[in-house]
Each structure stands twice: as C-alpha cells, then as structure tokens.
C-alpha cells in the first residue's frame, strides 16, 4: 500500500497492530540508558557518584562492621582499629529505657508492642475487626499511661526515671497525636468567619511560631510554675508534652491551612448546595481532600517534631540523645562519641524514614486519578 505522502505502508488504515517497543527502550539496558547515561551531564554525574560511593562506602563498612568490636567493658578494652560498639552494648538498656527500674522493663516493652498494634489499626485500613481496633487505639493512651507510670497494682515509676528511646517515643507520639487535631481546629479557626475565633487562632499561631521551641519549653518548665498558685505543681514531663504539642500544632495549623486554600470554592458550594452543615462539609468534603494534599507537609512536621523532642534535654529530661550524651562523658568511655552518636543518629533515622515511607505509600493509596 502507498499512503498520501507516497511512502509505502504495510497496513491498511485502522488495521495497524500493537507492536512491542524498541528493545533499547525497555529492560535493564533501557533503564540504564534512560536513567544513568541519557545525556553528557547525566553520564558525568553518574561517574562522579560512583567514584564517591567507591571512596566512602568501603571505609565506612570497614569502620562500622569489619574492623569493629563489640566486646569489652571500658574504653581500654577497645583495641580494634574500627568502631568500638562496646559502649552501646553495655549501655543499651539505658539508651532504651533511661533510668526505668530494670525489673519493670517488661512494662515498657509491653507498651511498645501494644503501641505497634494500635498504630497498625490506625495506619492500615484493611485489618480485621477494624472498628474494635480503632476503639482500642483510642483507649491506648490510657493503657500506656498506667503501664508506664504505674497504678492499678503496678509499682509507680516517677517520670523523672523515664528516659532514652522510650521517652523520645512518648514525646513524639503524644506530640503527633495531639498536634494533628489541634492543628486542624486552629487552621479552621483561622479561616473562620467569626472574628473572635479568627483573632484568637491567628494570635496563638503567630505567637507560638514566633518563638523558638526552647523558649516554649523553658516557659513551660520555669515560668509556668510562677503563675500557678503555691503548692500546685504538675509534672515536668507533662509540661514538656504540652509545650511540644502546642508548638507543633501551630506549625501543623499552617500546613493544613495550605491544604484548605488549595480546595476550589466549587467544592464548598457543592457541599452547601446539597444541604451539608459546616462541620459535615469540612469533615466529609473539604478536610479529606485538604489533608491528602498536605500529607508531605504533615509528615514533614511530624518528623521535625520527633527530632525536636531532643530539646527536652535542656529542661532536664533525658531522651535518647540526652542519655547518649551523658554516656559519652563517662570517664570509662571517654573518646567513643562517634559510635554513640552514630547509634543515636541511626535510631532516629529508622523512625523518620519509616514515617516518610508510610506517607509515600499513603499518598499513592489515596490517589484517585483526578490530577491532570
């Protein structure tokens, strides 16, 4: 056959079969060509990156694993050329539990396992008995409180003795769980048509965002008692928790406000025209879309909050980083700060990276194909 331009064609119009793509555009070779060597700058970057990896990784692995040692009970036992993980091994329980009594560690571990179960029900939709699971997750803070602090027949453990990773998680989870709902309320309030509500929300957000977290923590721990009547004295950890929660909810409110602004006016109008009340419109139509848009920002705030929890050190609470810092000043272990910080950093990284991966998974799951 011959088409209008005079070129010979093999198929009648409308009869062209689907053909496989050219071999070089698919498969491993195609991937390498497209992603690593698609242009001269890209090829140069690929080679430079490969050189850097070859330069850094073997040394790092050698230090951390091949030439490292785990045995030993003090600095003087560290004889290998690589890392000396003995400090982390010896102090591991303290890094995890702080000064929690060793006989009661099981309570922290149990609370941790129950936390994983509660999180699973909150984070994943298709688990069996989800309604019960969510009810359990809602009650979890109470369960965890009694497990960790004592009461109901369990020995009381003062919060002064909490510390290490356990304290970091307590502050992080409480801050996250409190800051999202408070942030939503503040964001809605800031866009409210009621002037008093709006002014209060704006004032709160701008005040909290205008001061450093350290200041908020100092105020919560040092200044707050000055304003309270004589004899009223509430827990230092509780004050830190309130400070962290309020601080991150101000940031959260602004992140969520960004999402609210991205929702077209037509969505509000359609919801109103159907007769939905303000709270139903927000809860069913606007917030599900707005929160989905700002998942990256929300998780960003969560991760920031989780890491900022290390600042509680300055009001005398020993979170993971605080207790690691205390350990390296021990005369027995002088000079092992690399290993201790590497351990703390790796632990934080695992938590933050998990949050990041979950958010990506959630974004993909919630994607309903309406983006253009």
Partner 1 sequence: MSEAAEASTGGMQISDEIAIQIAGMHKWYGEFHVLKDINLTVNRGERIVICGPSGSGKSTLIRCINRLEEHQQGQIVVNDIELTNDLKNIAEIRREVGMVFQHFNLFPHLTVLDNLTLAPIWVRKTPKAQAEAEAMKYLERVKIPEQALKYPGQLSGGQQQRVAIARSLCMNPQIMLFDEPTSALDPEMIAEVLDVMVGLAESGMTMLCVTHEMGFARRVANRVIFMDEGEIIEQNEPEEFFHNPQSDRTKLFLSQILHN
* Residue with Cβ nearer partner 1 (26 or 274): 274
In the bound state with partner 1, the residue whose beta carbon lies nearer, of 10 and 371, is 371
Q: How many CB atoms lie within 10 A of CB 87?
A: 27
The closest of 162, 183, 180 to 171, measured between CA atoms, is 162
- The residue (of 128 and 264) whose beta carbon lies closer to partner 1 is 264
Cβ 66 to partner 1, closest distance in Å? 51
For partner 1, the closer of residues 197 and 342 by Cβ is: 197
d(C-alpha 92, C-alpha 187), whole Å = 42
Rounded Cα distance, 154 and 103, in Å? 12
Contact (Cβ atoms closer than 8 angstroms) between residue 70 and residue 52: no
Would you say 7 or 368 has its CB closer to partner 1?
Answer: 368
Helices (H), 62-156: 86-90, 92-97, 105-123, 130-149
Cβ at position 314, least distance to partner 1 in Å: 43
Report the alpha-carbon distance of residue 309 to residue 353 in Å, rounded. 16
**Rounded-to-integer distance, Cα 45 and Cα 255, Å:** 35
User: 206 or 269: whose CB is closer to partner 1?
Assistant: 269
The nearest distance, CB 269 to partner 1, in angstroms, is 5
Question: Cα–Cα distance between 269 and 76 in angstroms, integer?
Answer: 73
- Residue 294 CB, nearest approach to partner 1 (Å): 14
- Whether residue 214 contacts residue 139, with contact meaning beta carbons closer than 8 Å, is answered with no
Positions in the binding site for partner 1 (CB under 8 A): 264, 266-267, 269-277, 280, 284-285, 288-289, 292, 366, 368-372
Give me the least distance between CB of 125 and partner 1, in Å please: 14
Q: Residue 369 CB, nearest distance to partner 1 (Å)? A: 4
Nearer to partner 1 by Cβ, of 280 and 338: the residue is 280
CB of 368 to partner 1, least distance (A): 4
How far, in Å, CA of 167 to CA of 148, rounded? 10
| Whole-number Å distance between alpha carbons of 314 and 316 | 5
| Nearer to partner 1 among residue 70 and residue 262 (C-beta) | 262
Least distance in angstroms from the C-beta of 248 to partner 1: 26
Q: How far is CA 160 from the centre of its chain?
A: 25
What secondary structure does DSSP assign to 52-78, as a single string?
HHHHHHHHHHIIIIIT-B---SSGGG-
């Amino acid at each position: 056959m011959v088409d209008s331009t005079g070129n010979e064609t093999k198929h009648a119009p409308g009869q062209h079969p689907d053909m496989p793509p050219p071999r070089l555009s698919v498969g491993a070779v195609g991937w390498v060509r497209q992603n690593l060597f698609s242009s001269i700058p890209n090829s140069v970057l690929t080679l430079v990156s490969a050189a850097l990896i070859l330069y850094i990784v073997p040394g790092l692995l050698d230090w951390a694993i091949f030439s490292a040692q785990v045995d030993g009970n003090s600095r003087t036992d560290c004889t290998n050329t690589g890392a000396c993980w003995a400090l982390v091994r010896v102090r591991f329980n303290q890094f995890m539990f702080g000064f929690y009594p060793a006989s009661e560690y099981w309570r922290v571990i149990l609370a941790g396992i129950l936390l994983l179960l509660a999180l699973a029900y909150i984070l994943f939709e298709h688990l069996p008995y989800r309604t019960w699971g969510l009810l359990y997750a809602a009650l979890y803070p109470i369960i965890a409180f009694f497990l960790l602090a004592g009461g109901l027949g369990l020995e009381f453990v003062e919060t002064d003795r909490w510390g290490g990773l356990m304290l970091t998680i307590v502050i992080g989870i409480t801050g996250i769980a409190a800051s999202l709902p408070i942030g939503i309320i503040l964001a809605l309030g800031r866009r409210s048509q009621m002037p008093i509500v709006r002014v209060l929300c704006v004032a709160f957000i701008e005040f909290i965002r205008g001061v450093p977290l350290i200041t908020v923590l100092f105020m919560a721990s040092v200044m707050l008692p000055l304003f309270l009547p004589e004899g009223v004295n509430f827990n230092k950890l509780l004050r830190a928790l309130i400070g962290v929660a309020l601080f991150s909810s101000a940031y959260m409110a602004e992140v969520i406000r960004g999402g609210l602004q991205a929702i077209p006016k037509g969505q509000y109008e359609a919801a109103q025209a159907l007769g939905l009340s303000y709270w139903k419109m927000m809860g069913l139509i606007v917030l599900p879309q707005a929160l989905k848009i700002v998942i990256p920002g929300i998780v960003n705030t969560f991760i920031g909050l989780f890491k900022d929890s290390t600042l509680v050190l300055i009001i005398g609470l020993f979170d993971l980083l605080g207790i690691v810092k205390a350990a390296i000043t021990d005369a027995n272990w002088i000079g092992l700060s690399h290993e201790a910080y590497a351990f703390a950093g790796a632990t934080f990284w695992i938590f933050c990276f998990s949050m990041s991966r979950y958010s990506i998974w959630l974004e993909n799951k919630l994607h309903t194909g309406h983006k253009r």
